[in-house]
Chains A and B, each alone.
Chain A
Amino acid sequence: MATRQSRSAARLMMAPAVILLLGWMLVPLIMTLLFSFKKYLPLRGGDLGWVGFDNYIRFVSSSAFWPSIYATLVVVGGVLIITVGFGILLAILLNQPMWGQGIVRILVIAPFFVMPTVSALVWKNMFMDPVNGLLAHLWKFFGATPIEWLSQASLQSIVMIVSWQWLPFATLILLTAIQSLDSEQLEAAEMDGAPPLKRFGYITLPHLGRAITVVVLIQTIFLLSVFAEIFVTTGGAFGTRTLTYLIYQRVLESQNVGLGSAGGVYAIILANIVAIFLMRAVGKNLDA
């Protein structure tokens, strides 16, 4: 179908997007690489010369490095499990006949419209505050000692806040996928007396495979760079310092751009490892 002419036209049409993104990727990437081999301290006059791999060694040998990898994986993994798990359940529920379906759908997708900064501020102050927060009042109402969310359950709290924001996204995509499921197939299975759990496992879940992959892929990209939620709530304390946050501390709080850039290179490597895993999975699912 594709002639040589249309092929070259296609290349031409792809060019603007590819060139722009290439620039947007290469310019910062090259600068990050460059800085990562330099002693670059803005508060001490900027560029203080080449230092080889010093920044790379220092970044990983810091006691904060491995905990930050752990925190990153917990946040990304935790949010993915929660949003996909609850997303499937919610999607199935929302696909059932009910009254006021449109309004319920609006209620469920609303958190997606809230700025991360705002949602973090609201959760931190109005819900998770151990004295004046609503959750503290709730705990006290039932005679329990209020949980000090952001210090005692810090990572869980962050996972909860971020999950709240991304659950709508997962639910929406999964819902569209479920709606495209052939209902005759399900009804036939129901006639044959297959119990609901079996119907879910053998028909619904496989059908959702592709949608789940897409949710995981897109969300991972955004979750790896979660920042505002941590900045506002714990400021990286209590084990919530993710790799992104650690880089922020090195670049902006310590004003050590060289060290932060080396961290940036590690973050790119981590992202690529994750990406390779994901793309294997997606690649399979995306082949039309």
Chain B
Amino acid sequence: MSFRKASFAATAMTLVTAGGALAETLTIATVNNGDMIRMQGLTQDFTDRTGHTVEWVTLEENVLRQRVTTDIAAKGGSFDIMTIGMYETPIWAANGWLVPLDDLSAEYDADDILPAMANGLSHEGTLYAAPFYGESSMLMYRTDLMEKAGLEMPKAPTWQFVKEAAAAMTDRDNDINGICLRGKAGWGEGGAFITAMSNSFGARWFDEDWNAQFDTQAWADTLNFYVDMMTESGPAGYATNGFNENLSLFQQGKCGMWIDATVAASFVTNPNESTVADKVGFALAPDNGLGKRSNWLWAWALAIPAGTQKEAAAKEFIEWATSKSYIELVAAKEGWANVPPGTRTSLYENPEYQSVPFAQMTLDSILSADPKNPTVDPVPYVGIQFAAIPEFAGIATEVSQEFSAVYAGQQTVEEALAKAQALTNDAMEAAGYR
């Protein structure tokens, strides 16, 4: 088969180029998401091709972040490859902590990477991390419940429609909630959702002078709308629901709609895990008529810390894991619906992948996200559901904790916004922005 051939060729090539190349052992830190777990299972293919072996350090997202950040800031050298996101990449690259990925092989075809993803993972035009999978967010809904409510989901719904549809689909007696959304504290959890949502309401984190903007009407509108809708049609305890909790609820048939990461589409349509696999439709994340939708952009990517002794082997791994042939390898073993999505143009041009039900909507969502112009009013930062500055993760986690306290009924929207405003300005002052 073509794989076998490619594998031989690759082995031969490494032997020639490296001149009796040393078989290295790479230590790779990664997050425990499904696609990465699958990659671990396929490591043998990489070893067969290159002779290098891999030691995996797989950690839960929050632990991974603290672990790799400490290591790279202290120059610990514990890892040869780190799995990082769109938030970390530009910051770390600006510090000179990452090896530029500007010399990848022609066969790898770096130009094939979706421009939105490549832009988000670059610093001053140079790629510093290769996307393993990319995502935007979109609306997933139950076609059967929609029909029962006598409604039809447009391809690009508004928030007002979503709110009304959620109320119509809600059936508390049968444990069906019209809409499930993230409310869990944490900048990458509920914080990411509400920030992306606020963009469509015309809100922003900072004005062009880095002043916090939580005292604006746009933020109050966002939070009030969210809280009203969730009180009316959301599940109990949504203040602690993150991606995984909502995924589980949706798979159990307890949600009418769910707006979340596009990668969730393959989980909710997988008949082995989902009780509603054949009743899911997709639409763009809602807007509010202001020209910005509420979808985000994110990629989990592989990067090499500067100073590693095993740069060449690490690059070989990155080329393998984010290549077209890796996608084909997964497709051959697990089917097209399970390949890592959102990274390559060629994948979305592949007729076999186009027949996957959520492929087109995923691509449309990714294409409609613009990290460089995320908001209605101009902002000094890059990033949609985050601002790519080192202070953001800490501030946004605290802000989202204040918001979650609103969702749990422990304080009012006004109180939360006042606290958010104060703590954001305080932290920005400490960091020397103001």
- A and B interact: yes
Contact surface of A with B, Cβ cutoff 8 Å: 41-46, 58, 61-64, 129-132, 145-146, 148, 150-152, 231, 234-239, 241, 249-250, 252-256, 259
Contact A62 B423 (CB under 8 A): yes
Give A237 to B237 CA distance when docked, in angstroms. 14
Question: Given that A62-B423, A237-B401, A252-B70 are contacting pairs, would A130 and B410 also be in contact in the complex, using a CB cutoff of 8 Å?
Answer: no
B184 partner residues in chain A, CB cutoff 8 A: 235, 237
Does chain A have a CB within 8 A of B213?
no
Cβ-defined contact, A236 with B419, below 8 A: no
A interface secondary structure, majority: loop
Q: How far is the CA of A196 from the CA of B168 in the complex (A)?
A: 63
Given A151-B404, A238-B405, A131 contacting B237 (CB threshold 8 A): yes
Which residues in B have their C-beta under 8 angstroms from that of A231?
62
Do residues B74 and A62 form an inter-chain contact, with CB atoms below 8 A?
Answer: no
What number of A-B contacts does a CB cutoff of 8 Å give? 108
Nearest opposing residue in chain A for B72, CB measure: A42
Q: How far is the CA of A188 from the CA of B305 in the complex (A)?
A: 75
Partner of B95, one of A43, A62, A150, A253: A43
User: B254 at the A/B interface (Cβ < 8 Å)?
Assistant: yes
Are A130 and B422 in touch, CB under 8 angstroms?
no
In the assembled complex, the Cα of A64 lies from the Cα of B399 at a distance in Å of: 11
B236 engages A131 (CB within 8 Å): yes
Residues of B within 8 A of A145 (CB): 236
- Please indicate the chain A residues that have their CB under 8 angstroms from the CB of B66 in the complex: 252-253
Q: How far is the CA of A234 from the CA of B184 in the complex (A)?
A: 9
Instruction: Tell me which residues across on chain A come within 8 A of B400, comparing CB atoms.
Output: 237
Q: Which of B216-224, B271-279, B281-289, B424-432 lies at the interface?
A: B424-432
Residues 373-401 of B at the A interface (beta carbon under 8 Å): 390-391, 393-395, 397-398, 400-401
- CB <8 Å contact, A42 and B422: no
CB-CB nearest 3 A-B residue pairs: A254-B394, A130-B237, A42-B73
Contact A64/B423 with A43-B95, A254-B391, A255-B69 known, Cβ cut-off 8 Å: yes
In-complex Cβ contact of A249 among B73, B95, B397, B419 (8 A): B397
> Contacts A131-B235, A254-B395: A58 and B423 contacting too (C-beta < 8 A)?
no
B side interface size, CB within 8 A: 42
Closest residue to A152 on the B side, CB-wise?
A: B408
Q: How far is the CB of A156 from chain B (nearest CB, A)?
A: 14
A93 to chain B, nearest CB (A): 36
B308 interfacial by beta-carbon distance below 8 Å? no
**Inter-subunit contact A255/B73 (CB<8 Å):** yes
The B interface, classified by DSSP as helix, strand, loop or mixed, is helix
Expressed in whole angstroms, the Cα–Cα distance for A44 and B433 within the complex equals 12
Given A238-B404, A238-B410, A254-B395, A148 contacting B239 (CB threshold 8 A): yes
- A44–B390 CB distance below 8 A: yes
Q: Choose one: A45, A237, A254; the contact of B427 (CB below 8 Å).
A: A254
Chain A nearest Cβ from B244, distance in angstroms: 10
Which A residues lie within 8 Å of B409 (CB)?
152
The answer to whether B390 and A45 have CB atoms under 8 Å apart is no
Judging by beta carbons under 8 Å apart, are B393 and A237 in contact?
no
Cα(A130)–Cα(B62), bound, Å: 23
Shortest Cβ distance from residue B404 to the other chain A in the assembled complex, whole angstroms: 5
Can you name 5 extra interface pairs (CB under 8 A) apart from A130-B237, A237-B185?
A45-B95, A61-B426, A236-B397, A249-B397, A256-B394
B235-256: contact bitstring with A at CB < 8 Å (1 yes, 0 no)? 1110110000100110000100
Please state if B408 and A151 are interface contacts (CB–CB under 8 Å). yes
Min Cβ gap B427→A in Å is 7
CA A241 – CA B391 in complex, angstroms? 19
Cβ distance A235 to chain B, nearest Cβ, rounded Å: 5
Q: Decide if B186 is an interface residue (CB 8 Å cutoff).
A: yes
Shortest A57–chain B CB gap in Å is 11
- Which residues of B (342-374) have their CB < 8 Å from a CB of A? none
Q: Which of A43, A61, A250 has most chain B Cβ within 10 Å?
A: A43
Q: Give me 15 A-to-B residue pairs in the complex whose CB atoms sit less than 8 angstroms apart, sorted by A's number.
A: A41-B431, A43-B73, A58-B430, A62-B423, A130-B237, A131-B235, A151-B407, A231-B62, A238-B410, A239-B410, A249-B397, A249-B398, A254-B394, A255-B390, A255-B391
Q: Evaluate contact between A41 and B408: CB separation under 8 angstroms.
A: no
CA distance A58 to B239 in the complex (A): 29
| Closest beta carbon of chain A to B360's beta carbon, Å | 32
Given contacts A43-B91, A58-B426, A131-B254, contact A150 B240 (CB under 8 A): yes
B186 touches A254 (CB 8 A): no
Q: With A151-B240, A238-B408, A255-B394 given, is the CB distance from A132 to B95 under 8 Å?
A: no
Q: How far is the CB of B170 from chain A (nearest CB, A)?
A: 15
Contact partners of A239 in chain B: CB under 8 A: 405, 410
Interface centre among A46, A61, A234, A238 (most CB of B within 10 A): A238
Contacts of A62 in B (CB 8 A): 423, 426
In the complex, how many angstroms separate the beta carbon of A260 from the nearest chain B beta carbon?
10
A248 to chain B, nearest CB (A): 9
What CA separation (Å) do A42 and B390 show in the bound complex?
A: 9
CB-CB under 8 A for A146 and B236, given A43-B95, A238-B404, A255-B69 = yes
How far in angstroms is the closest Cβ of chain A from B187?
8
User: Please, which residues of chain B bring their CB within 8 A of the CB of A150?
Assistant: 240
Instruction: Give bound CA distance, A214 to B209, whole Å.
Output: 56
The distance in angstroms between the C-alpha atoms of A259 and B391, with both chains bound, is: 13
- B residues near A236, Cβ cutoff 8 Å: 185, 397, 401
Q: Pick from A42, A61, A235, A254: contact of B185, CB below 8 A.
A: A235
Q: Which A residue's beta carbon lies closest to that of B235? A: A131
Instruction: Return chain A residues, CB-CB under 8 Å to B422.
Output: 63
A2 to B62, CA, bound (A): 56
How far is it, in angstroms, between the C-alpha of A254 and the C-alpha of B395 when the chains are bound?
A: 7
Contact of B74 among A42, A132, A249, A250 (CB under 8 A): A42
* B235, B236, B395 interface centre (most CB from chain A within 10 Å): B236
Query: A58-B426, A132-B248, A152-B408 known; A250 and B237 CB under 8 Å?
Result: no
Min CB–CB distance B386 → chain A (angstroms): 13
> In the complex, what residue of chain A is closest to B190 when comparing beta carbons?
A237
* A130 and B419 form a contact (CB under 8 A): no
A188 to B431, CA, bound (A): 71
B237 to chain A, nearest CB (A): 3
Closest to B395 in A: A254
Scoring A46, A145, A250, A253 by chain B CB atoms within 10 A of each residue's CB, the highest score goes to: A253
Enumerate chain B residues within 8 angstroms of A45, measured Cβ to Cβ.
Answer: 95
- Asked, given contacts A130-B237, A131-B249, A132-B248, whether A253 binds B394 with beta carbons under 8 Å apart, the answer is yes
